[in-house]
Amino acid sequence: MKISSRQNPWFKRIREAIREHAGEIVIEGPKAVSDAIAAGWTPIKVVTRDVDFSSEIFDVLAETKSPQNVIGLFERPRVSIGALFGRETSIVIALDGVQDPGNVGTIVRLAAAFDANGIALLPGCADAFGPKAIRASAGAILTVPVVSCTAEELLAFGWPIVAADTRAEIADPPFRRAILAFGREGSGLSPEIAKAARTIAIGMSHGMESLNVASAAAILLARSYAQR
């Protein structure tokens, strides 16, 4: 029977996952849902427009302007922070208070493109499993390990930290057994990470003072990958 009431438990559960993305997350679109299943994610529930949910209540849930007719509800992946440090031939990316979910999702995509071990989300970051970040990752969230942790937990592994900073000297990024950190748009790194990090800058025209964090990440991660 097609569901048409906003009081339906499945409607409420999916809406809560979209808003909170805590224990459960939502992936939208037939390709994205099928890719998640192919990657080994087991859906809790898959609903389709005009089959399972009426158009009216499906469109309330859909995050995109042009609904893609399929929504999948999944358990949020849980990865231990140790999984980020299991391979010493590449690097870990740390996002330190990066608040824009589009930037977080784009950097998840870059992590996949340039073979980083995974991403550590430090306090103040947008959630990589929020709907906007998932869309910006273009499917990379399915394969890139992402862990929320504190600066203390990150530093405990003993890998050196290199951070992007426009005021530093121009230098190559690390390519193995290191953490490459990117700070909050505008205010930069937290005191804990800033104290521990060596900073490097990207060479660019004198007419520009800085780059968007995702643009800076693209340049540095590409250079890191090239060295490997």
CATH code of residue 169? 3.40.1280.10
Render pLDDT for 133-151 as a digit per residue (tens, 0 to 9): 999 999 999 999 999 999 9
Q: What is the pLDDT of residue 173?
A: 96
Positions in the chain short of pLDDT 50:
none
Residue 172 and residue 94 in one domain: yes
Inter-residue contact 98 to 182 (CB < 8 Å): yes
Residue 192 and residue 123 in one domain: yes
Residue 121 and residue 204 in one domain: yes
Question: CB neighbours of 179 closer than 8 A, spacing ≥ 6?
Answer: 91, 92, 93, 94, 120, 154, 159, 160, 161, 162
Q: What is the pLDDT of residue 160?
A: 98
Residue 102 forms part of a structural domain: yes
Residue 47 forms part of a structural domain: yes
Tokens of 62: 């859909």
Full-model pTM = 0.94
Cα distances (Å, whole numbers) of residue 187 to 181, 184, 190, 192: 14, 6, 9, 14
Residue 87 and residue 162 in one domain: yes
Q: What is the pLDDT of residue 66?
A: 63
Number of compact structural domains in the chain: 2
**Spatial distance between the Cα atoms of 29 and 20, rounded to a whole number of angstroms:** 19
Residue 48 and residue 111 in one domain: no
Instruction: Give the residue numbers spanning the domain of 37.
Output: 9-75
Residue 85 and residue 184 in one domain: yes
**Spatial distance between the Cα atoms of 153 and 163, rounded to a whole number of angstroms:** 17
Residue 214 and residue 116 in one domain: yes
What is the DSSP pairing of strand 161-164 with strand 70-75?
unpaired
